[in-house]
Amino acid sequence: MEDEATFRQEVRTVCKLYHQAQELHEAGVHVVSIDEKTGIQALERIHPDQAMSKGKLELHEFEYARHGTQTLIIADQLNTHKSVSLVECVAELCGVKTALGEKGKSGILLNMASRAEFLQDTGHRIRFVYTPKHCSWLNQVEIWFGILSRRLLKRGSFTSTEVLNQRILSKS
């Protein structure tokens, strides 16, 4: 981690954006929190859970069958909490009106040096602000992923990735 003053400034920058999200939206600036959760497993419990009884905790089956994995990428517009895909979000902000995936449109930066230089330039129409290291708790999407994990994924039993997707979408 960098020095404490740099760390504190990075935390202040993120918090300030959260506090100003509505005001910035009214000025035509979109503040979007983006994160991904990879490797979400569709696990089917082999035996059903056993309910709590007097003096005993609920018993949760630990054996399972795997049915594949899913990845969630969320771009949460902080003032409205509407989530859109990252590609759609960036395309809209850049004014791309053609069909996405059209030949000749690219967003890949050539190398790490050009990427770092681009991302640090605050003069671009799109500005990236990162949470400091070890501060995922500042990212509102990361907080939502934690809630999703505790309330749905941890004890869930999913017979397929389609069932997993449906359950996730019904909770969002």
Three state DSSP letters for the chain: CCCHHHHHHHHHHHHHHHHHHHHHHHCCCCCEEEEEEEEEEEEEECCCCECCECCECCECCCCEEEEEEEEEEEEEECCCCEEECHHHHHHHHCCCCCCCCCCCCCCCCCCHHHHHHHHHCCCCCCCCCCCCCCCHHHCHHHHHHHHHHHHHHCCCCCCCHHHHHHHHHHHC
- The model's pLDDT over 72-91, given as tens digits with 9 standing for 90+, comes to 888 787 777 666 555 666 66
Give the lowest-confidence range in 5-9, 112-116, 123-127.
112-116
Domain hosting 115: range is 4-171
User: For residue 56, which phi and psi values (nearest 5 degrees)?
Assistant: -130, 140
Domain count, the chain: 1
The token pair that represents 123 in the structure block: 């003069």
Half-sphere exposure of residue 135, counting CA atoms within 13 Å on the CB side? 17
Residue-averaged pLDDT of the chain: 81
- The model's pLDDT over 22-67, given as tens digits with 9 standing for 90+, comes to 998 898 888 888 888 999 999 999 998 889 999 999 888 889 999 9
CB neighbour list of residue 41: distance below 8 Å, 6 or more residues apart: 66, 68, 69
pLDDT of residue 99: 62
